[in-house]
Structure 1
Amino acid sequence: MTEVQLGMFIHKLEGSWLKHPFWRTKFLLDDEQVLADLRASEVEGVLIDIEKGADVGGAPPPAAGRRRPLVPASSSADHVAERVRLERMQASQQAFRAASNVIPFDLRSATALSVAREVGHARAVVAKASRILSGVFEQARLGKALSKAQVEPVIEDLFASIQRNPHAFNGLMRIRRENSTLYSHGLAVSALMIALGRQMGLDEQRVKDAGMAGLLMDVGMGHLPIDVSTILDDLSSAQRNIVETHTTLGYEFLELGGELPEEVTRVCLEHHERYDGSGYPHGLVGEEIGLFGRMAAICDVYDSLTSDRPHRPRVDPNAALGLMRGMEGQFDEALLDQFIESVGVYPIGSVVRLTNGRLALVVDQNAQDYTSPRVWSFYDVGSRRVIKPEDLDLRFCRGRVEIVCSDDASDYAIENLPAIREMVFNSACKALA
Structure 2
Amino acid sequence: MLKRISPSQVEMGMFVHKLEGSWFKHPFWKSKFILDDPGTLDDLRDADIDAVVIDISKGCDVLLRRGDAPAVRSAPVSAPKPLLQRRRVAAANTPAQFDYRSTAPQTMAREFGHAARTADRGRKVVTKVFLQMRLGKTIPAQAVEPVIEDIFASVQRNPHAFNGLMRCKQDNEFLYRHALACSALMISLARALKLSPNEIREAGLAGLMFDVGVNLLPVDLADFGNDHRRLPAELLMQHAELGVNFLEASGLPAAISMVARHHHERSDGQGYPARLNGSDIPLLSRMAAICDAYDELASFMPGSGVVDPGTVLQTMSAQRGRFDPEVFAAFVQCMGTFPIGTFVELKSARLALVIDQNPTDISKPTVRPFFSLTTGKSLRSEDIDLANCFGADEIVGLADLSRFDPEETMKLRTRMLASLAKGG
Which bin holds the TM-score, normalised by the shorter protein? Answer: 0.7 to 0.9
1:147–1:395 CA distance, 2 compared to 1 (3 A): same
Contact 2:306 2:410 in 1 (8 A): no
After superposition, give the CA deviation of every residue in 1:322-359 in whole Å (9 maximum; x if it has no partner). 00010001000000000001111111111110111111
What secondary structure is seen at the aligned counterpart in 1 of 2:380?
Answer: strand
Among 149, 160, 164, the alignment partner of 1:167 is: 160
What residue number does 2:127 align with? 134
Letter matched to residue 205 of structure 1: N
Deviation at 1:410, TM superposition (A): 4.6
Which residue of 217, 225, 230 maps to 2:210?
Answer: 217
Deviation at 1:232, TM superposition (A): 7.7
- Residue in structure 2 matching 1:153, options 137, 146, 149: 146
Does residue 1:376 correspond to 2:368, yes or no?
yes
Please give the alpha-carbon distance, in whole angstroms, between the structure 2 residues aligned to 1:402 and 1:352. Answer: 10
Partner of 2:378: 386
CA deviation map 1:189-210 (0-9, x unaligned): 0100000000110111110111
The residue that corresponds to 2:352 in the other structure is 360
Provide the C-alpha distance between the structure 2 equivalents of 1:145 and 1:413, rounded to a whole number of angstroms. Answer: 44
Q: 1:269 to 1:276 in 2, by over 3 A?
A: same
Query: CA offset at residue 181 of structure 1?
Result: 1.5
Structure 1 position 226, deviation (Å) = 1.6
CA contact (8 A) 2:152 2:187 kept: yes
Note the residue ranges of structure 2 that are not aligned, 5 or more in a row. Answer: 1-89
Indicate which of 306, 311, 323 corresponds to 2:315. 323
Contact 1:273 1:281 in 2 (8 A): yes
> Displacement of 1:120 after TM fit?
1.1
Change (3 A) 1:405 1:130: same
Partner of 2:236: 243
Percent identity for Structure 1 against Structure 2: 43
Q: Could you say which structure has the greater relative contact order, defined with CA pairs below 8 angstroms and 6 or more residues apart?
A: 1
Q: Structure 1 residue 142: deviation in Å?
A: 1.5
Q: Cα gap change, 1:415/1:126 in structure 2, threshold over 3 Å: closer, same or farther?
A: closer
In the alignment, does 2:347 pair up with 1:347? no
Output the amino acid matched with 1:334: E
Greater shift, 206-215 or 239-248, is seen at 239-248
C-alpha contact 1:307 1:314 (8 A) present in aligned 2: no
226 and 428 in structure 1: CA distance in 2 versus 1, 3 angstrom threshold: same
Aligned length: 332
Report deviation, 1:310: 6.0
**Equivalent position of 2:194 in the other structure:** 201
1:124 aligns with 2:114: no
Contact 1:194–1:211 (CA<8 Å) still a contact in 2? yes
Distance across 2 between alignment mates of 1:180 and 1:306: 15
SS in 2 for 1:390: coil
CA RMSD across the alignment: 2.1
2:108 touches 2:160 (CA, 8 Å); kept in 1?
yes
Gaps of 5+ in 1: 1-96
The TM-score normalised by the length of structure 2 is: 0.74
CA 1:413/1:419 → structure 2, altered by over 3 Å: closer, same or farther? closer
Contact 1:185 1:303 in 2 (8 A): yes
Aligned counterpart in structure 1 of residue 175 of structure 2, from 182, 189, 192: 182
The amino acid that maps onto 2:248 is E
Does residue 115 (structure 1) correspond to residue 108 (structure 2)? The answer is yes
Query: Do the aligned residues in 2 keep the contact of 1:266 with 1:293 (CA within 8 Å)?
Result: yes
Conserved 8 A contact 1:376-1:428:
no
Match of 2:295 in 1: 303
Equivalent residues of 1:372, 1:395 under 8 A apart: yes
Pair 342,138 (structure 1): closer, same or farther in 2 beyond 3 Å: same
Q: Provide the secondary structure at the position in 2 that maps to 1:330.
A: coil
| SS in structure 2 at match of 1:377 | strand
Q: Which amino acid aligns with 2:334?
A: S
Q: 1:286 to 1:102 in 2, by over 3 A?
A: same
Cα-to-partner distance string for 1:213-250 (whole Å, 9 max, x where unaligned):
01011111111112335168786xxx422211010001
